[in-house]
Chain A
Amino acid sequence: MKNRLILYVLVLVILFSLGFTLPTDMRSLSIDIFIFAIYAMAYDILYGYTGQFSYGQAVFFGVAAYGLLLPVLHTNTNLWVSLTIALVITVVFGIVLGFLAVRLGGAYFVIITIIFNLTFYLIALDWIWLTGGDDGLTFRAPKIEFGVFSLSLYDPVVTYYFMLSFLLASYLILKRLISSPIGKVLIAIRENEERAQLIGYNVFRYKLLAYVVSALFTGLSGALYSLRTRYASADYFNIALSVQPIIWTLVGGAGTLTGPIVGVILINPLIYYIGVWWKHYLSIIGALMIFVVIYSPKGIVGNLINKIEKS
């Protein structure tokens, strides 16, 4: 317990000090990592903790990205209002799509989430009047306002701390969720759905809850990403973006919450640096996936936890 506390404090001190000291490119990469770490944790709630293998989370990433962009672009709403709109819209979509998908188990669930993803992607490509299609839409990032104080997201240091604070808040909320009785029920459903039902749990309701919570935090990362890039396009619904959290989660360790963050920390720098000089960089990700699946099927953090438990 004490060791864990020291580790948490150490990580926080490092993260806070890096905001000022990192070179520009690495700070930029860190900001991306913070945003995608939220996405990865959201996926872990759905797959790692509840066993629902979705192949279409980019739907919520894209919906929230536009949910933030459109109000700012057309009505010049402030940051907090537009972020709230983005998240509310994402939750509504989460409930509707979840209601349709969660009833279906196993392969049917995977297939319907792919169908959702492709449908939203094609709609986003087609409805150019709304989304800008493939070219996308750009906007001016609103200021971060706290009463009389305001900060600009055009300052990379501000963006660093802004995104970091969302990552930390998301981690704490999700950690609290999985440690609560609800979290234990989600694990119970992943372990044995029928058994959870026999104890008296409405499995559908809990699976839907996990789906919506995952959609909400995926949406948060999508909204933050559009805020960071000050842009969104149909590509934010691309199915490749639905594959990424699967890779982060499997490499880092499903059902660990920190594992998927480790996955992002390992994989995104690979893409960021190697992708610049080698166009076949994805083959490295593929090789890493194969290596992890064969030698560490529980993922890096999952394997580490296993070793600690055994010792």
Chain B
Amino acid sequence: MLRVEDVDVFYGKSHILHGIEMDIQHGQIVALLGRNGVGKTTTIKTIIGILKPKKGRIIFEGQEISKIPTHEIARIGISYVPQGRRLFNKLTVLENIIIGLTVKKELRNNESYQDKIKKVLEIFPQLESLLNRPVETLSGGEQQMVAIARALVTNPKLLLMDEPSEGLMPVLVQKLGDTIKLINQMGVTILLTEQNVSMALKIADKVYIMDNGEIRFKGNPTRLLKDEDLLLKYLGVR
């Protein structure tokens, strides 16, 4: 579904990503792990088109997307839940969700707004009583739900989630993991970056570990869990 081929990215003169190679198959949950500042968010931002690679290609469903603008990448089926939620604070929960709907004509025509909203409320029933509240008045966990709901309402094929558990209480992190699993079972492929290694390894089908802008490990979580040295060296966990 998504192939990242030998991608190099620079911030000005700083070389951030070095020859990144990734391969994500349809229906997978892929976790991109690593310590702070190793290039996880930069990789996500490059896939969604905020940053442009200096070298290499990104192919999504057979189409090269590394040179097309961000808004067009979003329209072909890649949704992004950024770190820190980044909602539209002055809009209500409902407005934040439907703003994702108005972007695509086909979404407006095929199914009514109500049906779409109903669908995401099945995943996040807690939001039902909050629909008319401005999002700035919600808790961190509720805001995260809105951010995911807004991304889901556009029927994405691939969902990019950047540190979704950041700032959430442990009990909510567990719930979030279940929700990500549920979304995946609905047919959405997921790529997430995470600091919470245990949650990520529980739900992921495939794991990449990054360090210093390079991929250091690629494999399934079981293999990673067996390699204690690797866990300690790159993720700081035993």
Interfacial residues, chain A to chain B (CB-CB below 8 A): 181, 184-185, 187-188, 191-192, 194-195, 197-203, 255, 309
Contact = CB atoms under 8 A, between A and B. Distances in A.
A198 B74 CA distance: 6
B90 interface: yes
A280 to B, nearest CB: 38
B74 A200 contact: yes
A199 B74 contact: yes
A200 B103 contact: yes
Given A185-B99, A197-B70, A192 B75 contact: no
B60 interface: no
Q: Interface SS of chain A: helix, strand, loop or mixed?
A: helix
A195 B80 CA distance: 9
A199 B91 contact: no
Contacts of B104: 200
Contact of B75 (A181, A188, A191, A200): A200
Interface residues of B, number: 26
A181 B94 CA distance: 12
A187 B71 CA distance: 17
Interface of B: 48, 50, 69-72, 74-75, 80, 82, 86-91, 95, 98-100, 102-104, 134, 150, 154
A194 B99 contact: no
A158 to B, nearest CB: 41
Q: Interface SS of chain B: helix, strand, loop or mixed?
A: loop
Nearest to A182: B102
A197 B71 contact: yes
B95 A184 contact: yes
A199 B99 contact: yes
A201 B72 CA distance: 8
Contact of B88 (A181, A188, A200): A188
Contacts of B134: 309
Given A199-B100, A200-B75, A200-B104, A188 B91 contact: yes
Contacts of A203: 71
B103 A194 contact: no
Contacts of B103: 199-201
Nearest to B153: A199
B90 A191 contact: yes
B80 A198 contact: yes
A198 B70 contact: yes
Contact of B91 (A187, A200, A202): A187
